[in-house]
Structure 1
């Protein structure tokens, strides 16, 4: 058998077209991207697609966030349904990008996180990558987080290594802030050093509250929050959560920031108008991020936002205000559009990049971010 070729054998061994698929903690659907990577060149986006999740799949995924009966079967069936939606997204990328399955080196499929307990040595992203490979006839790379956890890391966030590649600058220290279900930041120092970690809840709680009181999956343009007024005593109670005081590396998810957590914090505040609660949840996201930037990157000169929260002008304004009042004054807040990458493309691009790194047998994590024992090749390969 011929020896396996790696990027160390050939400078361009991993070049080619990759798909990246990301369905985050908001669980509304999957963002997909088709991108061509060539060593030494900027990534070239060929196509993008979004495929929503039906209500039944969303309910199944939400129910798996907490222990329950018959979890193994429910998780397996949800993984199959997720693979089917991923496949629809991939076929749309093939069509829109005018490429054939044979031209795609690999699909980087993150899966859906239903449990994240690195302190206990595990993290679970359900999907069925074998079924996805069968449905697309393309190599699938999945299970990116567990190798980092196995080496003592948090397994999250994984995007900072990609952020450093595409957004780093020697002219200024900048922060890339992802506003997904959970917020996380990547600090890109002008020295080339990188750090990143989760800050707390973002859209996870905002969407939960909007669905509860508006019957809608999210607060469009922050209009619900804009009708309310920040309630400082409630914000103080929300911020009185040990996670916010932890030093990085740290990561979190719906295991902590969920409906049960919020309802417990709201005891004694039942008379508050729902819009006031929403406005206070916006402030919670903004303040928790601003505090981390003040603590760990006081020399920050710009904040670039990606993720679904970048489309919420009320949240963006709240973040700018929190930075101003939190001691990092004069720092402009914009989206990653200013750096040439639309906010909704950043995370699927990152998982396409992680797939490329796996094909090249190159590390995908940063030990300074996750706390792992060292750099590791991430992902498990399911051949076409």
Structure 2
């Protein structure tokens, strides 16, 4: 198993494996490397005809294998990609097992003219490569896409500015990286926005502070606050924005549930006569955040907040079923908590 940085060096040197398995929490990085391989391998007039992609959730693996086996059109190579390859996760349902068996068998003796890529996006940063992925290491190049941090993140972001024809100072670069969510979809959007805003001048610290979006924790606070104000449309807009930024629904639910549980504990504490400082120390909250949450807690009745916590638990249970639409379940949670 290799890291993202090592893969990047191999692509620069035009050293390609026959089969790749990408896994990690940052889908944007995976898509970027798929595009880089595609761009290096397929450069002729028929490049688009020799690139095929399949949705792992719905794809027929026989069709995928046939696409790999079919010779390229007027070229030496072709690239076949299976995205959302959830069958590479730990799940053991019949469909996933069938898909996994098919690709596992194919990559034992893959077509030499095809570069076959599968990628599986983790639900969160804590998830590890599954036993299924580890079994494929002897047959394919497995690449783990951990989120970039520190120097590697700054180096990557600096190159993104340079591609836009913009230089950014070391202090400004660090400020930008330290105050932005570590998600390449968001980083790409913010680099584009900042370059457009600064246009033909140097990027300043003031530009960065003005243009940076709020972090997800603030968005979660705003989502719960909007629910407390019974503003359905605005709450759903915030939910959609979080999903657009790349946050996974289980993480959003976890943070919303955590917020409601804190509010419930604050309400109990206030009823017991505890003050802000005592509650902040007890719940390990920043005093300023604690003050804001106390104000938020007063917008809920005790009965309403207890129901909200229970609705979160019900939604968590529902999301464990593969048959439900996670976004729809979150929208139902918002509606239920607003009417609680």
Q: Fold match, TM over 0.5?
A: no
More strand by percentage: 1
Larger-Rg structure? 2
More helix by percentage: 2
